Structure 1
Amino acid sequence: MEFKEYVNSLPNRRDEVTSELAALCCVSNNTVYRWLRGDFIPDALKRKVIADYLRVPEKELWPNV
């Protein structure tokens, strides 16, 4: 399940997860929303942090990177 699909599958926690990811990656919530829309892809370090936080393999979240 890709990043966008995974986060959207958490309807009751989506805002909470988005805020936590923003804090962990030292970016704004808007940046996380841009990642979710597919406007941008996080850099390698941020992808690793996100994958570890979500406990989903990075290659599953971003299969085309």
Structure 2
Amino acid sequence: MENHIEEKEILTFPDYYKSLRNERSEFIQKMVELTGFRYRTIMNYISGATIPDKPTRLRIAEYLKTDEKKLWPSRTI
């Protein structure tokens, strides 16, 4: 699984997940490992029901090699 977003693509975290046709399960598992949170929490991030805290957003953005503000544009803090 390629773990970065092309510079020209500006995808939110939910959009990034939706773009992963065949790699969604692998992506969720990687997010569980990366963040230390449970599957349900990651699914809440993906659905937009909850937004990760700043350190978690930064960790995910670093893994995806993109800016945290692109993944969660409504979060400016």
Instruction: Give the TM bin, normalised by the shorter chain.
Output: over 0.9
More helix by share: 1
Q: Which ranges in structure 2 are unaligned for 5 or more consecutive residues?
A: 1-10
What is residue 56 of structure 1 aligned with on the other side? 66
Q: For each residue in 1:11-64, what CA deviation from the matched residue of structure 2 results, as whole angstroms up to 9, or x when unmatched?
A: 111110111111110101111001111110000010011001111211100011
Give identity over the alignment, percent. Answer: 35
Could you say which structure has the larger radius of gyration? 2
TM-score of the superposed pair, with normalisation by structure 1: 0.93
Moved over 6 A (4+): none
Aligned length: 65
TM-score of the superposed pair, with normalisation by structure 2: 0.80
Q: How is 1:36-51 mapped onto 2 (pairs within 5 angstroms)? A: 36-51=46-61
Q: CA RMSD in A?
A: 0.8
Q: Which ranges in structure 1 are unaligned for 5 or more consecutive residues?
A: none
